[in-house]
Homo-oligomer: A and B are copies of this chain.
Amino acid sequence: MTADAAIQTTREQVAALHAELVRYGLVVWTGGNISGRVPGEDLFVIKPSGVEYDELAADNMILCDLDGNVVPGTLGSERAPSSDTAAHAYVYRNMSHVGGVVHTHSDYAAAWAARGEAIPCVLTAMADEFGGEIPVGPFAIIGDDSIGRGIVETLDGHRSRAVLMQNHGVFTIGKDARDAVKAAVMTEDVARTVHFSRQLGEPIPIPQEKIDALFDRYQNVYGQKPQGAL
Interface residues of A (CB under 8 A from B): 24, 28-31, 48-51, 79-80, 83, 105, 107-108, 110-112, 114-117, 122-125, 139, 141-143, 166-169, 182, 185-186, 189, 192-204, 206, 210, 213-214, 217, 221-224
Our pick among B114, B124, B166, B186 for the contact of A29 (Cβ within 8 Å) is B186
Q: How far is the CB of A102 from chain B (nearest CB, A)?
A: 13
A108 contacts B185, CB within 8 Å? no
> Could you write out 20 A-B pairs with CB less than 8 Å apart?
A28-B189, A80-B224, A83-B222, A105-B193, A107-B193, A110-B193, A111-B197, A114-B203, A122-B167, A124-B169, A139-B204, A142-B214, A142-B217, A143-B213, A167-B204, A167-B206, A195-B199, A195-B200, A198-B200, A199-B200
Which chain B positions have C-beta within 8 A of A189?
Answer: 28, 105, 107
With a cutoff of 8 Å between Cβ atoms, the chain B residues found around residue A50 in the complex are 222-224
Copies of this protein in the complex:
4
Which residue in chain B gives the minimum CB-CB distance to A214? B141
- Find out whether the CB atom of A114 lies under 8 angstroms from the CB atom of B193: yes
Given that A51-B224, A189-B28, A203-B114 are contacting pairs, would A105 and B123 also be in contact in the complex, using a CB cutoff of 8 Å? yes
- Complex CA gap A203/B29 in Å reads 24
Indicate whether A111 sits within 8 Å of B167 (C-beta atoms), given known contacts A125-B105, A141-B124, A224-B50.
Answer: no
Residues of B within 8 A of A141 (CB): 124, 210, 213-214
A29 to B174, CA, bound (A): 15
- Knowing A50-B222, A206-B167 are in contact, say whether A201-B117 is a contact too (CB < 8 A): yes
Contact partners of A110 in chain B: CB under 8 A = 123, 125, 193, 197
In the assembled complex, the Cα of A182 lies from the Cα of B30 at a distance in Å of: 10
Instruction: Let me know if B192 and A107 touch, CB within 8 A.
Output: yes
**Cβ contacts under 8 Å, A192 to chain B:** 107
